Amino acid sequence: MTQEKALEILKSGRNVFLTGSAGTGKTYVLNKFIEHLRDCKVKVAVTASTGIAATHISGKTIHSWAGIGIKQELTQRDLSGLQRKEYLKKAIEKAKVLIIDEISMLHRKQLEAVDQVLCMFKGNKNPFGGMQVVLCGDFFQLPPIGTENEMSRDKFCFMSTLWGEADFHPCYLTEQYRQNQDPLADILDALRNNTIGQHELKMLEAASYTQFDEKITPTRLYTHNLDVDALNEAELDKLPGRKRNFRATSSGEQALIETLKRSVLAYDKLPLKEGAKVMFVKNSPEKGYINGSLGEVFDFESTGFPKVKLLDGTIITATPEKWTIDDEQGNELAWYNQIPLRLAWAITVHKSQGMTLDAAEVDLSATFEKGQGYVALSRLRKLDSLKLLGFNQRALQIDGLAQKADKRFQELSLQNELISSDILDKDRKAFIKASGGRSLKKL
């Protein structure tokens, strides 16, 4: 499906699953749709399954927006507690469209929890409280984190009965923009089709970048946090100047504090120097950053707090932030306080999902999850921008259930292409009117 046809279907008010291989412009289409809704004064909630993914569409995590936090299932007590939160009530009641990006990493139980919250606040038993919902992503990429014994069918969103009830219309983008006419595109297609052969293996084994802009520092991608942390600490030690350590403070039951630490990814002891590459690990749009914003420490305030220059040139003083777990009455059960930064010379494959990299050194020798290899390789535009330090057999595997579902999504997308533009345009106008928006003469 072309981007133009997908946009027509999105604008019609239908629930949509926007998908396609890496580099087909899913984020571009989402942003065009968001622009359309805002032009038409239709309130849209822009979210993603992870903080990093949210940065690419200037949104929030779905967990934060819907109030579900780190929970996978909501009890009636949980729902009653959420109902008393006025800010949630206002945000959800106003929203007419909900977008969730990187849907492959959202557990089916969390999607069902979002449905519970929306139905409650909207006072509507239809799926998602009657809102238009747009899911975007590629199930060949990283799956949700589940319990040790969970199978793919227990985790993937498309296996929920809610998926069928909501009548999602797959829009499968087919035009390649990132790896167009490059051997990397052939390797990625072979991965998706599970047809990796000797030809593709030889290209991967020989992959090393030799020609690229000297100003570009290759990003290092690893599968495990231990490797990322080791490299980041080594790079920090190379910098001249004084190392400053910022220690976290916390209070509450230790198990809850540990849950917070895993969720927020902040360090207990954060070491920083001038010149350190860093990434924010908390959403704070009012302060100018969101979870995943990248930058560099260039100075320290007289108070001792680091001054960070983001990639777009914005300068922010990073001060301590507080993360909490509350009970149903809004009382704090535990809190964790720390400068919301991580070192970022290297990042995990998980955190790279959704990024486009100019050059990368990638180590897949310890791949432990199907889809990690595909995600890492698909971050690049071309094969000669890749230095592959190693890979194992699992790095070349994709989930069999995802592959089967993908074929069905392609079939349904072809059917959706047959919906006439006249019908879609009529539905677009009706949806805007029903949403309290305004139609534009030129679309």
Determine the distance from the C-alpha atom of residue 281 to the mean position of all C-alpha atoms in its chain, rounded to a whole number. Answer: 13
The three-state secondary structure class of 312 is coil
Q: Which residues pair with 251 in a beta bridge?
A: 335
Q: How far apart are CA 205 and CA 183, in angstroms?
A: 13
Q: What is the mean pLDDT of the chain?
A: 85
- 306 and 275 part of one domain: yes
Of residues 108 and 152, the one with the higher pLDDT is: 108
> Would you say residue 79 lies in a domain?
yes
The tokens of 240 are what? 């001249």
pLDDT of residue 212: 52
| Model confidence at 92: pLDDT above 70 | yes
| pLDDT of 351 higher than 80 | no
How large a percentage of the chain has pLDDT more than 70? 90
pLDDT at 162: 95
Residue 283 structural domain: 242-345
355 occurs within a structural domain? yes
Whether pLDDT at 441 is above 60: no
3-state secondary structure of 170: strand
Task: Determine, yes or no, domain membership for 229.
Answer: no
pTM, 2 dp: 0.74
Tokens matching residue 246: 């910022």
Residues 37 and 109 in one domain: yes
Give yes or no for a contact between 270 and 246, defined as CB atoms under 8 angstroms apart: yes
**23 & 149 share domain:** yes
Same domain, 92 and 25: yes
pLDDT at 55 over 60: no
* pLDDT score at 58: 65
Q: What is the CATH number for 113?
A: 3.40.50.300
Average pLDDT rounded to a whole number, residues 73-83: 82
24 and 175 in contact (C-beta within 8 Å)? yes
Decide if 92 is inside a domain: yes
17 occurs within a structural domain: yes
If asked whether residues 210 and 111 sit together in one domain, one would say: no
| Per-residue pLDDT at 41 | 92
Domain boundary among 345, 374, 409: 345
- Residues with Cβ within 8 Å of residue 336, at least 6 apart in sequence: 248, 249, 250, 257, 260, 261, 264, 266, 322, 323, 324
Q: In this structure, is residue 162 part of a structural domain?
A: yes
- 328 and 274 share one domain: yes
Residue 230 belongs to some domain of the structure: no
Q: Does any domain span residue 272? A: yes
* 201 shares a domain with 250: no
| Token couple for 340 | 């919301």
Number of domains the chain is built from: 3
| 171 and 75 fall within a common domain | yes
Which pair of tokens denotes residue 349?
């494959």
> What's the 3-state SS for 278-326?
EEECCCEHHHCECCCCEEEEEEECCCCCEEEEECCCCEEECCCEEEEEE
Reported confidence tier of residue 408, pLDDT bands at 50, 70, 90:
very high
45 and 85 co-located in one domain = yes
* Six token digits for residue 126: 């239809």
Closest CA to 399 of 157, 188, 141: 141
* pLDDT of the residue at 348: 86
**Among the ranges given (144-148, 183-187, 212-216, 362-366), the one the predictor scored with the smallest mean pLDDT:** 212-216
DSSP state of 440: -
Please tell me whether residues 390 and 312 are part of one structural domain: no
pLDDT of residue 52: 64
